[in-house]
Structure 1
């Protein structure tokens, strides 16, 4: 979703007044490990992530991690903008409940649009009984997974190498799930990242031809089952706020919202 012509959400609308900040910090940390950038730089508590060859906003953004770190906002943003330009990127800030209110006010006053509004959801796995077996096992072929993900997501094939590089760089244990149909080929994919007691559901996608046929439910169940059997107590995932079908699927499975985030960038 893009909404560059829309006014940005206020700090309260992102949910900073009601969320549990320790939970946000932990999910942010595991999220960075689950989707690693090729270049990582800290400016105070601002985490600057850049990745050449892949357009993911999560991999190319400034991520403030401490609401009290708001010194020299303008100077530091200008410095970050130069770093982004060196990588051929436009400066982008990922605004979460950890973003200092002063920084949000700075972006508001400068008229920075908001886009890519997303939700972070979580599900308690500890009390769910998935049984001891697995109906669907993860695959080992990263290239095959990448091909399927790009095909289902209708993304450019040229980004395959970058996607494989990101997956190969994930340090926690991963499970690559791929559903296929003999006639239409790949139908659904998900990447599960097991990090201590958490399981992150990434790259979850279902082909248009098989939506509303139970494929998404089956894929989600297989992903959660694998994470639980590996020892995860809680599952988490990120989804764009305008993806109503996916959000409905996740809520029916028991996921609930933990916090929201949005991207901000200077007016072009």
Structure 2
């Protein structure tokens, strides 16, 4: 099914602003994103943004690989509906393979039934949010400085939502980034032993309600396509898949 490319371009643009890489360079319409302190694939990948930009594929991939090598990283290409088909064919012929797929989902906030009041007010305490996220995602504490840099670099309005309980501390978090009339849901996590108890619904409702009160008319998110429980929750809120993207690298079995 053909994609609405203007919509894809807009969602890609707000996605870049919601999770900014430390270094962004361009080779034609290929965006080269690198972040030395954080291994996130979204922050360390090449993203082609024009289906017609397919000149000198081998040379440009070689140049990008050298740039990634200078950061101590292997080259990753992110495939969206904006990628040139010729690049996909070239990568396949050269032994590249996709290794992760994610869905981009959206919902119309103007038609969404949400609570009349905010159960959770957004925090502006980046350090507290990072500490909670690291615990819930079971990430290394060494990532804290990089996360602080990323979150501090987000230019649109942000709301950090944290659910804490006595003794146990943080049990759920969500980051909402409002970019004009679109709000992105990022870093959404619920403690493993607290899932299916309504916490995810509560904190997601609060984030979306805050976004709508702040002027957002639509919301978007990105989720790994194999994360069935999360996708089921998002569908309950009315989120629907708009397109998917895949990460590619060389020498990886599909």
TM over 0.5, yes or no?
yes
1:49 aligned to which of 22, 30, 33: 33
Identify the residue that residue 93 of structure 2 maps to in structure 1. 109
Residue 132 (structure 1) shift: 5.5
Identify the residue that residue 99 of structure 1 maps to in structure 2. 83
Please list every run of 5 or more consecutive structure 2 residues that lacks an aligned counterpart in the other structure.
none
Q: Which moved more, 1:257-266 or 1:180-189?
A: 180-189
Identify the residue that residue 14 of structure 1 maps to in structure 2. none
CA distance in 2 between counterparts of 1:92 and 1:116 reads 11
**Is contact 1:124–1:234 with CA below 8 Å preserved after alignment?**
yes
CA distance in 1 between counterparts of 2:135 and 2:100 reads 22
How many aligned positions are there?
252
CA distance in 2 between counterparts of 1:249 and 1:130 reads 14
1:158 aligns with 2:149: no
Residue 129 (structure 1) shift: 4.9
CA distance in 2 between counterparts of 1:130 and 1:67 reads 38
Evaluate the alpha carbon distance shift between residue 211 and residue 129 of structure 1 in structure 2; reply closer, same or farther with a 3 A threshold: closer
Identify the residue that residue 14 of structure 2 maps to in structure 1. 30
Identify the residue that residue 243 of structure 1 maps to in structure 2. 227
**Is contact 2:112–2:237 with CA below 8 Å preserved after alignment?**
no
2:200 aligned to which of 190, 212, 216: 216
CA distance in 1 between counterparts of 2:27 and 2:213 reads 38
**Is contact 1:40–1:47 with CA below 8 Å preserved after alignment?**
yes
**Is contact 1:132–1:229 with CA below 8 Å preserved after alignment?**
no
**Is contact 1:84–1:91 with CA below 8 Å preserved after alignment?**
yes
CA distance in 2 between counterparts of 1:92 and 1:195 reads 27
Give the structure-2-normalised TM-score: 0.97
Q: Deviations over 1:13-47 (max 9, x none)?
A: xxxx4321111000000000000001000000000
Residue 86 (structure 1) shift: 0.6
Evaluate the alpha carbon distance shift between residue 87 and residue 164 of structure 1 in structure 2; reply closer, same or farther with a 3 A threshold: same
Alignment of 1:1-268 (within 5 A): 17-130=1-114, 133-267=117-251
Residue 131 (structure 1) shift: 5.9
Q: Indicate the SS of the match to 2:150.
A: helix
**Is contact 1:33–1:170 with CA below 8 Å preserved after alignment?**
yes
Residue 183 (structure 1) shift: 2.8
Residue 229 (structure 1) shift: 0.5
CA distance in 1 between counterparts of 2:70 and 2:215 reads 42
Q: CA RMSD in A?
A: 1.1
Q: Deviations over 1:135-182 (max 9, x none)?
A: 210112111100000100000110011011100000000000000111
Q: Which runs of 4+ in 1 moved over 4 A?
A: none
Residue 256 (structure 1) shift: 0.1
Q: Deviations over 1:195-217 (max 9, x none)?
A: 00000000000000110000001
CA distance in 2 between counterparts of 1:186 and 1:21 reads 39
Residue 110 (structure 1) shift: 1.2
CA distance in 2 between counterparts of 1:108 and 1:251 reads 33
CA distance in 1 between counterparts of 2:117 and 2:157 reads 19
Give the structure-1-normalised TM-score: 0.92
